[in-house]
Structure 1
Amino acid sequence: MVQATPFLLLLSLALVAPGLSARKCVLTGHWVNDLGSNMTIGAINGKGEFSGSYHTAVSSTPNKIQLSPLQGSQHRINQKSQPTFGFTVKWTFSDSITVFTGQCFVDEHGKEVLKTMWLLRSYVDNMKDDWKATRVGINVFTRLNLQME
């Protein structure tokens, strides 16, 4: 029976790992998060800026949920394969706005994942109610592969 030495284990990990990290995570496309919200990110320009749309699956407003625009930018230093990014969603159905920040990763199975944190700011009538106007949370997005029929 052959026993694996620590050196052989390290060597095998070094040979496998570059294949996973070499895959580039691309923000452009359709995404769905852990709550069922859908997001589309359009082409990223030469400055790293992008626009798109967001359709939330959750809301505390009694108004009808509608598609909302988003604007953002991706950090591009050295063309990193797993870039950081941020975007703002201006909700069309309420007096609130949400900012997201995160990083695009390629997981151990080769799937792209967006890990994000967000702040939602809702309108309040006076400064006394400021304490209840901001919410914070996290979302994980996975690529939504749309089938053309």
Structure 2
Amino acid sequence: MLLTPEEMDRRLDEHFDFEARDDVAGVLRTLTPEVEHDVVGWPTGPSRGREGARPFYETLFADLSHGQVKSLRRLYGDGFMVDDSLWSGKAPGRPFGLDGGDRPLSFRLLHVIEFAENGQISRENVWVDMAAILQQLPQVAVAA
């Protein structure tokens, strides 16, 4: 049985709510046990399974704080959705390897989400607007 767009919205919003609370266990519960998790450009590449996704979320929650996701547009298909959203918050750690300096940060995200019949996320594919991040978190060159 395929999810309706409204059910997909509820499932992804639940996932984002756990992210906003830095709740790794909650986020992982929204994923299938065999989830494919792929943040394009992430140094370790795509991961498989909840435990494979755990290190990404632990790092993310250490590097970014007070995060809120605002969905700008969503498109729906049979068993999947595309979510264009804006993340905003602070960067106390080293997001994407950059010194955050606890500065404010906002950037666009594009999620392609596939759902299992039980409503859990079976595939999460994410593109991040790195150009916006680099503009907001300029790095100080260290003299050699």
Q: Tell whether the structures are fold-level matches, with TM greater than 0.5.
A: no
TM-score range, shorter chain: 0.3 to 0.5
Q: TM-score, normalised by structure 2?
A: 0.41
Greater CA radius of gyration, 1 or 2? 1
Greater RCO, CA 8 A, separation 6+: 2
The structure whose residues are more often helix, as a share, is: 2
Q: TM-score, normalised by structure 1?
A: 0.40
